[in-house]
Amino acid sequence: MLRRVSAKHIYICSPSSAVRDKAAVRRGIKRLQALGHDVEVDPDAFTSHMRFAGDDATRLAAIHRAASSGADIVVTTRGGYGLTRLLPAIRYPLLKKAVDKGTQFVGLSDFTALNCALFAQAKATSWQGPAVGEDLGAEEPDEIMLDCFEDLVEGRGEGSGWRLPAAEAQSRFREARGVLWGGNLAIIASLVGTPWLPKVRGGILFLEDVGEHPYRIERMLTQLLHAGVLAQQKAILLGQFTNWRPVPHHDKGFKMATVVAWLRSQVKIPVLTDLPFGHVPTKVLLPFGVPVHLAVDGRDAYVVWGHRH
């Protein structure tokens, strides 16, 4: 995967859980260096305090160092848990200034809390995309994920496309325009009613989750539904909902497809599935807070955000 790319300043930090698979993060760092990048690793990237990558003050300082680093791209070692409790203490104007100067923050899972708060508090855009440990540092990183990351690095990403299930090609939906936002459903649901959930009207909302039984997915979607969040969107894109355990002898046919069918019965907007995003190797990068054009042509779906540079 050695390609000639413009060398960029990439800052790696740990705002959430402590790194346990240090080898994977080191592989990710080496891979980025091998691509010619100037990789700066936050001094507390490998710090551990209980489940966290350092106590609150440590992780907060890491986020602010990342914002002050002048890096082109800030990526995280991993997700996990820890950002929601930091949200009131983050210096959003500092991060907004970094974004305005060209720093692009990238992350997923727990990082969704920062994507949301940044946009809610400062209208600053960011990215949902790979983490260093699980994705960039995988023994055999996914090609699509790497290509998308390179597109980001090169500033040439214009959108993502994916293949819809056959049944969804039947829909009359053709296109919509709106602000793309979303990420981890559990995090987004946990921000409802707080100042950290952006109020996106006419948006296109994408969602993914890991380790959550479909009944919990449904309960979280119900919260977004009853809080009026879904009614304000133009479309919902469902990514991958993985690694949950069925409850034999109790589910009796209740599964993710049941939840998707129920969701469609509750909203008047298109619900597209199979978006290649989530806790899976093959993931695209998706901008958060950016106007996009969503289009469907047969079984092909596209999200296009045009040139950002």
The question of whether 208 is a catalytic residue gets the answer yes
| Distances from the Cα of 5 to the Cα of 2, 32, 87, 214, 217, angstroms | 9, 11, 34, 41, 40
CB of 226 to a copy of itself, least distance (A): 4
Sheet holding 233-242, edge to edge: 159-163, 300-304, 290-297, 175-184, 203-210, 233-242, 271-272
Strand, coil or helix: 96: helix
CB of 203 to a copy of itself, least distance (A): 16
In the complex with a copy of itself, which residue's Cβ is closer, 164 or 185?
185
In the complex with a copy of itself, which residue's Cβ is closer, 5 or 247?
247
In the complex with a copy of itself, which residue's Cβ is closer, 169 or 227?
227
Q: How far is CA 109 from the centre of its chain?
A: 6
CB of 291 to a copy of itself, least distance (A): 25
Catalytic residue among 168, 208, 212, 218: 208
φ/ψ of 262, rounded to 5, equals -65, -45
CB of 304 to a copy of itself, least distance (A): 31
CB of 239 to a copy of itself, least distance (A): 21
Residue 150: CB atoms within 10 A of its CB come to 16
Cβ partners under 8 Å of residue 66, min gap 6: 11, 13, 42, 74, 98, 103, 105
Type of residue found at 200:
V
Computed on alpha carbons and rounded to an integer, the radius of gyration of the chain in Å comes to 19
Catalytic residue among 14, 17, 109, 126: 109
In the complex with a copy of itself, which residue's Cβ is closer, 81 or 173?
81
Catalytic residue among 126, 160, 218, 279: 279
Strand, coil or helix: 147: helix
In the complex with a copy of itself, which residue's Cβ is closer, 131 or 301?
131
Cβ partners under 8 Å of residue 149, min gap 6: 129, 130, 136, 285
Residues forming the site for a copy of itself (CB under 8 A) = 17-18, 20, 48-52, 81, 84-85, 87-88, 186, 189-196, 215, 218-220, 222-223, 226-227, 247, 249-254, 258, 262
Cβ partners under 8 Å of residue 156, min gap 6: 309
CB of 104 to a copy of itself, least distance (A): 26
In the complex with a copy of itself, which residue's Cβ is closer, 249 or 268?
249
The question of whether 158 is a catalytic residue gets the answer no
The question of whether 140 is a catalytic residue gets the answer no
Residues with a catalytic annotation lie at: 109, 208, 279
